[in-house]
């Protein structure tokens, strides 16, 4: 039995589909029965529960050989790191209570940093907590910047005809399609080929700058001259709060962008065949254009 948290999200749904296609038993965890229905229709066992609730997660993980853990981004939490740690603690207790042997954990490039890297510092804490669980084999997938983050800019592109973020225009960073993370997660969940506590970085198909991202997106949506604007930190923070993020989450993202601009992306590994994944930004842009056009 595999238990997949965040099953309705970017990575979770792809993992579930792959495991089911291989004939595995899969329990899918989410907060809303309706959102779990499409996965249940494919043969997954739905489990409705909140990630911060120990009793609920302990039942969710019952009988699991392996669990995929994902600490959901707490966009509106007044205290982001505390909220992430509460979820992390819940997962850890549920893993211990059920003596789960294998965990694949979605983490982030930069999770070696205990400070100064926004919401990723909460994933650092989660890694540390899982690493303290004695008999459980844990594989941390430290993913680069998600291509899917560009979906948050659709409203901006539509309303103002620009793409923008606080990132420096020409700074190339490792950008990954979440389906590629899911493919690696599913592969290791099926093979159970990891032992002890280990970490791999997943850096996408190539490093790419926001300038190039914007050129590719612009071409895909029929706006070949779409400009990219580097937003000031204060303006970006105000816009995030305006979109409903808590002040603490907006501060965290600004901290993360500032870190990347000042120091470069904090991955530890040099790019290699092992940490490079197939989906090109050009491929992602086709899916982006389909969503943009709706
Ligand atoms: N964005 C990036 O560039 C980036 C880079 C590296 C790592 N990460 C990390 O990747 C993770 C996000 O992964 P993702 O994109 O696959 O997920 P996602 O699409 O953000 O989805 C989050 C999932 O968590 C579930 N969820 C949210 N709150 C929950 C709660 N309180 N209890 C139970 N389930 C809850 C949601 O399901 P329901 O709504 O159906 O409950 C949803 O399935 C985060 O840990 C993030 O820090 C992000």
265 plus 197 within the same structural domain: no
179 plus 262 within the same structural domain: no
214 plus 136 within the same structural domain: no
- The number of distinct structural domains making up the chain is 2
In a domain, 197, yes or no: yes
In a domain, 116, yes or no: yes
- Domain that residue 141 falls in: 2-145+175-202
Which helix (H) or strand (E) element contains residue 102?
A: strand 102-108
Please answer whether residues 138 and 130 qualify as being in contact, where contact means their C-beta atoms are separated by less than 8 angstroms: yes
Q: pLDDT class for 124, splitting at 50, 70, 90?
A: very high
Please answer whether residues 113 and 124 qualify as being in contact, where contact means their C-beta atoms are separated by less than 8 angstroms: yes
* Ligand 1 contacts CB of residue 106 (under 6 A): yes
pLDDT of the residue at 221: 98
Best residue among 73, 121, 127, 213 to mutate for probing ligand 1, ranked by most atoms within 8 Å of CB: 73
Please answer whether residues 180 and 279 qualify as being in contact, where contact means their C-beta atoms are separated by less than 8 angstroms: yes
Residue 211 has pLDDT above 90, yes or no: yes
Residue-wise pLDDT tens digits, 4-63: 999 999 999 999 999 999 999 999 999 999 999 999 999 999 999 999 999 999 999 999
CA distances from 128 to 56, 122, 265 (A): 23, 10, 21
Please answer whether residues 93 and 52 qualify as being in contact, where contact means their C-beta atoms are separated by less than 8 angstroms: no
Residue 202 has pLDDT above 90, yes or no: yes
The number of the ligand 1 atom at minimal distance from the alpha carbon of 143 is 6
Q: pLDDT class for 78, splitting at 50, 70, 90?
A: very high
In a domain, 8, yes or no: yes
In a domain, 52, yes or no: yes
Nearest to 243 by CA among 171, 156, 157, 164: 156
* Ligand 1 contacts CB of residue 257 (under 6 A): no
Distance from residue 291's CA to the centre of ligand 1 (Å)? 20
216 plus 137 within the same structural domain: no
Please answer whether residues 2 and 63 qualify as being in contact, where contact means their C-beta atoms are separated by less than 8 angstroms: no
191 plus 240 within the same structural domain: no
247 plus 189 within the same structural domain: no
Of all residues in the chain, the percent with pLDDT exceeding 70 is 100
Q: pLDDT class for 294, splitting at 50, 70, 90?
A: confident
φ/ψ of 144, rounded to 5, equals -75, -165
237 plus 101 within the same structural domain: no
Chain centroid offset of residue 164 CA = 21
Q: pLDDT class for 176, splitting at 50, 70, 90?
A: very high
135 plus 242 within the same structural domain: no
pLDDT of the residue at 56: 98
189 plus 240 within the same structural domain: no
Distance from residue 69's CA to the centre of ligand 1 (Å)? 10
In a domain, 152, yes or no: no
Alpha-carbon gap, residue 274 to 208, rounded angstroms: 18
In a domain, 266, yes or no: yes
In a domain, 183, yes or no: yes
Q: pLDDT class for 283, splitting at 50, 70, 90?
A: very high
Q: What is the CATH number of the domain that holds 88?
A: 3.40.50.720
Q: Mean pLDDT, to the nearest integer, of 115-121? A: 98
71 plus 110 within the same structural domain: yes
29 plus 84 within the same structural domain: yes
198 plus 210 within the same structural domain: no
Q: Mean pLDDT, to the nearest integer, of 205-224? A: 98
Residue 210 has pLDDT above 90, yes or no: yes
Please answer whether residues 105 and 143 qualify as being in contact, where contact means their C-beta atoms are separated by less than 8 angstroms: no
In a domain, 165, yes or no: no
Distance from residue 223's CA to the centre of ligand 1 (Å)? 31
For the CA atoms of 144, 76, 14, 182, the dihedral, rounded to the nearest 10 degrees, stands at 20
φ/ψ of 199, rounded to 5, equals -135, 135
Alpha-carbon gap, residue 242 to 258, rounded angstroms: 20
């Amino acid at each position: 039995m595999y238990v997949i948290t965040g099953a309705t999200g970017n990575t979770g749904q792809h993992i579930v589909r792959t495991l089911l296609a291989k004939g595995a038993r899969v329990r899918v965890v989410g907060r809303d029965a309706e959102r779990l229905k499409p996965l249940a229709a494919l043969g997954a066992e739905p489990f409705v529960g909140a990630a911060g609730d120990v009793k609920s997660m302990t039942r969710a993980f019952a009988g699991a050989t392996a669990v995929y853990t994902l600490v959901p981004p707490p966009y509106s939490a007044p205290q982001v790191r505390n909220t992430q740690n509460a979820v992390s603690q819940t997962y850890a207790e549920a893993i211990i209570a059920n003596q789960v042997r294998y965990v694949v954990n979605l983490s982030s490039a930069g999770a070696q940093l205990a400070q100064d890297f926004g919401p990723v510092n909460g994933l650092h804490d989660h890694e540390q907590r899982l690493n303290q669980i004695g008999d459980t084999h844990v594989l941390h997938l430290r993913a680069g910047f998600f291509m899917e983050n560009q979906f948050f800019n659709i409203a901006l592109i539509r309303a103002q005809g620009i793409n923008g973020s606080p990132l420096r225009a020409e700074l190339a960073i490792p950008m990954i399609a979440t389906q590629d993370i899911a493919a690696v997660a599913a592969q290791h969940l099926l093979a159970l080929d990891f032992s002890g506590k280990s970490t791999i970085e997943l850096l996408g198909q190539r490093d790419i700058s926001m300038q190039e991202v914007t050129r590719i997106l612009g071409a895909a949506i029929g706006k070949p001259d779409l400009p990219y604007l580097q937003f000031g930190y204060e303006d970006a923070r105000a816009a995030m709060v305006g979109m409903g993020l808590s002040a603490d989450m907006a501060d965290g993202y600004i901290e993360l962008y500032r870190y990347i601009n000042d120091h470069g992306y904090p991955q530890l590994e040099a790019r290699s065949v092992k940490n490079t994944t197939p989906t090109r930004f050009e491929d992602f842009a086709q899916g982006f254009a389909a969503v943009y056009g709706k």
